[in-house]
A = this chain, B = another copy of it.
Amino acid sequence: MVQVIMGKHAHSHAIDATAWLRQNGLRATHGRIAIVQLLDNSSVPLTLADIHEKVRAEGCDFATVFRFISILEEKELVQRVAWIDGTTRHEIRARDGHHHHHYLICRTCHKVEPIDECVVERFESQIAKERGYAGLSHSLQLSGVCPACQKPAAKTRKKP
């Protein structure tokens, strides 16, 4: 699991998961609705295990999480993120009023803070022009040791 510090873009208005699914040509089942709501409410990318842990209460199997996330990624509604700790995570694509952002991760307690600014965008267009690449996208993660974990007997410390 992942500790989260809510960024400015945490939003109180959940999307209507059922409508969203139908709009995208997907059947609205109990488990899928739970998964979509979870992704929509999370300000950080989640692993399949994270998602399963939260929706198993609804009787939603791991295989369902796996297959449904695969479908969402094929349709490019969800994006796969290679996390610095080697896990593969998944986040819903930017919706209205959300722009994409990056993450600051504590190497000790694994806390994740979203970073709103994106310094890379201008650089990206420059590279596109100089090297002739099309459809550029990027992935940026910063990691370091957070203030709490810099104190000797930090209580937040976790396993590698």
Contacts and interface: CB of A to CB of B under 8 A. Distances in A.
A113 B131 contact: yes
Contacts of A123: 117, 119
Contacts of A135: 107, 144-145
Contacts of A85: 82
Please tell me how many copies of the chain the complex holds: 2
A21 interface: no
B139 A141 contact: yes
Interface string A20-61: 000000000000000000000000000000000000000000
A144 B134 contact: yes
A14 interface: no
Contacts of A124: 142
